[in-house]
Structure 1
Amino acid sequence: MNSKEVVYVVSDSVGETAEFVVKAVASQFNGGHVDIRRSSYVEDTEDIEDVILLSKQTNSIIAYTVVIPVLKEYLDRRAKEEGIIAVDLMNPLIEAFTNKFNKLPNRQPGMMRKLDEDYFRKIEAIEFAVKYDDGRDPRGIPRADIVLIGVSRTSKTPLSMYLAHKRLKVANVPLVPEVPAPDELFEVPRNKCVGLIISPDKLNDIRKERLKALGLTSQANYASFERILEELDYAEKIMKRVGCPIINVSNKAIEETANLIMDYLKSERS
């Protein structure tokens, strides 16, 4: 395939299903180099006419997942009149379901998205956790379902990702004596924040291993006992000021800590 070859993906919903199928087919032809142009949420014949016009001007195919009968029929007719190849990716299987299982389709666009709403919530939560990881942007703090605070190496990031897979939007903020805690942290309800603490000995071991993995000396200030005590003392003061519950993660697996956080959230909401 070359860059001049175009597939117009047309849908009365998002069009993700059609695009996925097109990419799967294109991958069978010299690496799948095809220009996919999506036209989502087509609502009337004018939307279809726009695609027909564009398709006439290019070396293209139309692949569609249009379930609204009047729009499907119009697209089929206009494509035939203009000599354009238009492939219905859903109707053959819909007819097979109808004939074999003796059931009638709803013919409602977006049903897949409705079924996958839980999936999309998870993706949204994961993207949120990545965007607001490690205090990158304090604007995420008021928007989070839960805010995790603690010193470095208290599992804030893996906890955030684990909770994101449970559909919770999590922001996490590292507490460092030299860096003032963001103002937003003291403005969120205390029941939306959880402090993570750890024993000095455990943190010392973890940080030494971290430095070793980075090829650095374990004598660095980051892993010194004096520095660790200073950070933990600072973190405790911030947590008391916020008034949030505190979990000691010293000997807890990520799943165990996450379950404690989720149980706490449930108790606050009930």
Structure 2
Amino acid sequence: MAEPLHLHLISDSTGETLDMLAKAALAQFEGAAIESHLWPLVRSRQGLERIMADVADKPGIVLFTLASPDIRTALEERCRLLGLKAVSPLDPVLSSLGDTLGRQAKARPGRQHTMDEAYFDRVDAIHYTIAHDDGLLSEEWEEADIVLAGVSRSSKTPTSIYLANRGYKTANIPLVMESPPPDSLFRLKNPLVVGLTTAPKRLIEIRRNRLLTLNERERTSYIDEERVSEELKYARRLFADNGWPVIDVTRRSIEETAAAVIRILQQRRDDSRQGELIAPGPA
């Protein structure tokens, strides 16, 4: 078996940003044998020296985010001597921003993880979203930014959690033909209500896999093709009757679905602000 390509991710912070960048890039090389190594909190020459032995032992490509010019120079020199490529993926972005803003970036490790107001807003959104999963506490939905509605296994919960991590308070409700949603869902003013739908065959596949994980092997209406189609038709009628935007999640990842929801919410907020700007004043 061929030796995998080693990808070393060296960061002076948690390495979360670098890890996400690497995963996004690696997704374009499906099937490639790549082994990633994350080296976080590298903030001294001594710390760098400790990991370079492992880097030398498993040579490959080095991606780094290092605020200290001294440590960065040391890393680049070591990589040059080892014949390794060393890439700082944020450099082009920082350079372009600096040129446009006419100022230099502040060299502070982990600056994006500072516990500012946005951080606590995100924590609050996560707590809210977990407490309002699967139709819970419907009397508090007016406090939400977003409410997701859809039949069982239409990716409501994972999408809600992803949105919460982006700072959006998100509730979700499963739509069941025999049990209509609470009236409060149809009276909401503040939250954006979004309907999630999917293709029947894809939904049946997901539900079947769910049953297998629960060791349920008997055929039930939960995966009956005619029943599933009726469920989806019921949900789509509900979405249409209430004028809610609809997102088909059949071929979308959770991240793509969340991005689509955020776009709709942003457009709604932009339209609302525009309406306020052009509203006539008092006579």
TM-score grouping bracket, smaller chain normalisation: 0.5 to 0.7
Task: Answer yes or no: is the 8 Å Cα contact 2:142–2:191 preserved in 1.
Answer: no
Aligned-residue CA RMSD (Å): 1.6
**Counterpart mapping for 1:1-270 below 5 A:** 115-189=115-189, 192-217=192-217, 219-270=219-270
Deviation of 1:267 after TM superposition, in Å, equals: 1.0
Task: Answer yes or no: is the 8 Å Cα contact 1:190–1:244 preserved in 2.
Answer: no
- The letter for the 2-side match of 1:238 is L
TM-score normalized by the length of structure 1: 0.56
Task: Answer yes or no: is the 8 Å Cα contact 2:145–2:191 preserved in 1.
Answer: no
Whole-angstrom distance in 2 between the partners of 1:172 and 1:191: 11
Whole-angstrom distance in 2 between the partners of 1:190 and 1:202: 32
Deviation of 1:172 after TM superposition, in Å, equals: 0.4
String of CA shifts for 1:72-128, please: whole Å, max 9, x gaps: xxxxxxxxxxxxxxxxxxxxxxxxxxxxxxxxxxxxxxxxxx952211111110111
Whole-angstrom distance in 1 between the partners of 2:154 and 2:177: 16
Deviation of 1:215 after TM superposition, in Å, equals: 0.4
- Aligned residue for 1:266, secondary structure, equals helix
Cα 1:191–1:122 shift into 2, 3 Å:
closer
Aligned to 1:31: none
Identity %: 43
Deviation of 1:208 after TM superposition, in Å, equals: 0.7
Aligned to 2:26: none
Cα 1:205–1:243 shift into 2, 3 Å:
same
Deviation of 1:158 after TM superposition, in Å, equals: 0.4
- Aligned residue for 1:142, secondary structure, equals helix
Task: Answer yes or no: is the 8 Å Cα contact 1:148–1:156 preserved in 2.
Answer: yes
User: Would you say how many aligned residue pairs link Structure 1 and Structure 2?
Assistant: 157
- Aligned residue for 2:177, secondary structure, equals coil
Task: Answer yes or no: is the 8 Å Cα contact 1:164–1:170 preserved in 2.
Answer: yes
Task: Answer yes or no: is the 8 Å Cα contact 1:208–1:218 preserved in 2.
Answer: no
TM-score normalized by the length of structure 2: 0.53
Task: Answer yes or no: is the 8 Å Cα contact 1:148–1:193 preserved in 2.
Answer: yes
String of CA shifts for 1:141-199, please: whole Å, max 9, x gaps: 21110110000011100000000001100010110001111111111249711000000
Task: Answer yes or no: is the 8 Å Cα contact 1:190–1:242 preserved in 2.
Answer: no
Q: Structure 1: any 5+ residue segments left out of the alignment? A: 1-113
Deviation of 1:230 after TM superposition, in Å, equals: 1.7
- Aligned residue for 2:161, secondary structure, equals helix
Whole-angstrom distance in 1 between the partners of 2:267 and 2:182: 27
Whole-angstrom distance in 2 between the partners of 1:139 and 1:153: 23
Aligned to 1:85: none
Q: Which has the larger radius of gyration?
A: 1
Whole-angstrom distance in 2 between the partners of 1:173 and 1:252: 20
Q: Which runs of 4+ in 1 moved over 2 A?
A: none
- Aligned residue for 2:147, secondary structure, equals strand
Whole-angstrom distance in 2 between the partners of 1:218 and 1:240: 34
Whole-angstrom distance in 1 between the partners of 2:159 and 2:115: 27
Q: Structure 2: any 5+ residue segments left out of the alignment? A: 1-113, 271-283
Task: Answer yes or no: is the 8 Å Cα contact 2:143–2:190 preserved in 1.
Answer: no
